[in-house]
Amino acid sequence: SVPKRNPSGEDAAFLSWFLVDASQPFASPAFFHPSGIGRNLALLENGASVAAVSSNFGGGGNDSAFGAANALDGDPATEWSSESDGDQAWIDVELPSVTNVTSVGFWTRTMGDSTQVNSFRVTTDRDETYGPFSVDDATTIYRFDTQFTAKRLRFELLDTTGGNTGALEIEVYGDAIP
């Protein structure tokens, strides 16, 4: 507890200072989910990109506050939100190369008890469809074993609570085909 005193009787602001160790993660370990299953090929920093999206909340681009790129940035504090697409929301993820995909992950965004994704499917650029995959809640990323080859994946939201659905994070694991 930090004592606060305002002897003037007028509105006051309280400023907090935090000392952090730059060599340590800023967020609690609860925010990190090391997979142990390889490199997430759906990360922007690993060469993935948003090829297309049903919509971004507020009509912004993929790099906007609720843009689709947020689902590929590795940061669960950011999110992609569709513009009221509900069960019609989707995002196309372009991988850096053709990949033997062994696992996909999805972390639904939520607004308390609304806008949650309950299930999704993945359609490849080869018109193969996998799923539906069930997402129980918005507390963590859910990963699903798969076995297919693709360069582009469409994550289609099938069953949602409606509204501005989307994802905190999307993951893809596997081995690139040389």
Q: What's phi and psi for 61, nearest 5 deg? A: -80, -175
Condensed to tens digits (0 to 9), the pLDDT of residues 64-93 reads 999 999 999 999 999 999 999 999 999 999
pLDDT digits (tens, 9 = 90+) for 96-116: 999 999 999 999 999 877 789
Confidence of residue 3 (pLDDT cuts 50, 70, 90): very low
Tens of pLDDT, residues 129-178: 999 999 999 999 999 999 999 999 999 999 999 999 999 999 999 999 98
Residue 72 has phi, psi (to 5 degrees) of: -120, 15
pLDDT at residue 8 is higher than 90 = no
